[in-house]
Structure 1
């Protein structure tokens, strides 16, 4: 069963996601090209870890041996991966806007 992998990867993705959020807010507040690229790279790493945990969660749902607590964790993982995708798209849109206007402060 994939329960151990789901729990370990979701904890790892949570810790990495928390640190990415803190540093990403600082990088996005400065709004220049190098800081937005750093925020983009760290959000991509966090999103990939969350997708890996979500993949194991989907496998666990397919097996069907999960309790209510694990089902709640799986639902949260699926929701968080969608919201992280939205945040990544917003950062990439900011990079594109910044590069369109000459690479300086907008």
Structure 2
């Protein structure tokens, strides 16, 4: 699921770069310029996509560390799996908070709705994953 979040986030970031503000020597800044501008969505979209992509990268690292822990299944692999899992959950919680804000502000497309749903599901799933990793100790 984190890979899907990364894919949708990469699409949104690419679209923001392609259709965002063009700033150069002959251009003036727009009146309400924001460095995190996304042509789709609302005011929370830039923050949501940025933190969703961070959560996706750390979540994939968490899955890799968890698989390594399951493969070796010893006390020396548990701390790294548990710590990266906690960091991934914190980033996922932060991205879910921005997803909730984006839902509250409405105006968003189907891709963003999909990413919001995945992040809300991943927040609960990551918490269960933390419990499973610590339960294996």
Give the TM-score band, short-chain normalised.
0.7 to 0.9
Stretches of structure 2 that go unaligned for 5 or more consecutive residues are 1-42
Measured in 1, the distance between the counterparts of 2:84 and 2:56 equals 13
* Contact in 1 for aligned 2:61/2:84 (Cα 8 Å): no
Cα shift at 1:84: 1.0
In proportion to residue count, which structure has more helix? 1
> What are the superposed Cα offsets for residues 42-100 of structure 1, whole Å, 9 maximum, x if unpaired?
100001001100000001111112222211110011011111111111011112xxxxx
Cα shift at 1:20: 1.9
Which residue does the alignment assign to 1:27? 69
Structure 1 runs of 4+ with >6 Å offset: none
Alignment of 1:9-88 (within 5 A): 9-88=51-130
* Contact in 2 for aligned 1:28/1:39 (Cα 8 Å): no
Which residue does the alignment assign to 1:8? 50
User: How many residues are paired up?
Assistant: 95
> What are the superposed Cα offsets for residues 1-29 of structure 1, whole Å, 9 maximum, x if unpaired?
11011111111111111122112211232
Bigger Cα displacement from structure 2, 22-31 vs 47-56: 22-31
- Give the structure with higher Rg (CA): 2
Secondary structure of residue in 1 paired with 2:136: helix
TM-score normalized by the length of structure 1: 0.82
TM-score normalized by the length of structure 2: 0.65
